[in-house]
Amino acid sequence: MKIVYYRDKCIGCGACVEHFPELWSLSNEDGKACLKEAKKIKNFFMREIQFEDIDAVKKTANDCPVNIIKIS
Ligand code: SF4
C-alpha cells in the first residue's frame, strides 16, 4: 500500500509527526510536514508503506485536520 500526501495544503499542526515520527518530520524552512523517503509526483508526494504500519498510518490520516493524507 501507499501513502499519498498533498503537502501544499499542510497547516503544520504536527499531529502526523507526533503519531508517527518514523515517517514524518516538520520542515525548518516552511513549517509543513515532510513525508520521509517520498517521491514528489505532480502536486503530491507518495511512498510505499509496510503492511504492519497500515493501522498507524490510518490513524495519522484520520487525525490530520485538513485531510491531506490518503492511503491507496
Ligand atoms: S497532520 Fe496534516 S496538517 Fe498536520 S502537519 Fe501533518 S500533514 Fe500537515
pLDDT tens track for 16-68: 999 999 999 999 999 999 999 999 999 999 999 999 999 999 999 999 999 99
Distance CA 40, CA 44 (A): 6
pLDDT for the residue numbered 9: 98
pLDDT for the residue numbered 7: 98
**Nearest alpha carbon, ligand 1 atom 6:** 16
Q: Is the CB of 12 under 6 A from ligand 1?
A: yes
pLDDT for the residue numbered 6: 98
Q: What's the topology of domain 2-71? A: Alpha-Beta Plaits (3.30.70)
Q: What is the residue extent of each domain of the chain?
A: 2-71
Distance CA 70, CA 37 (A): 16
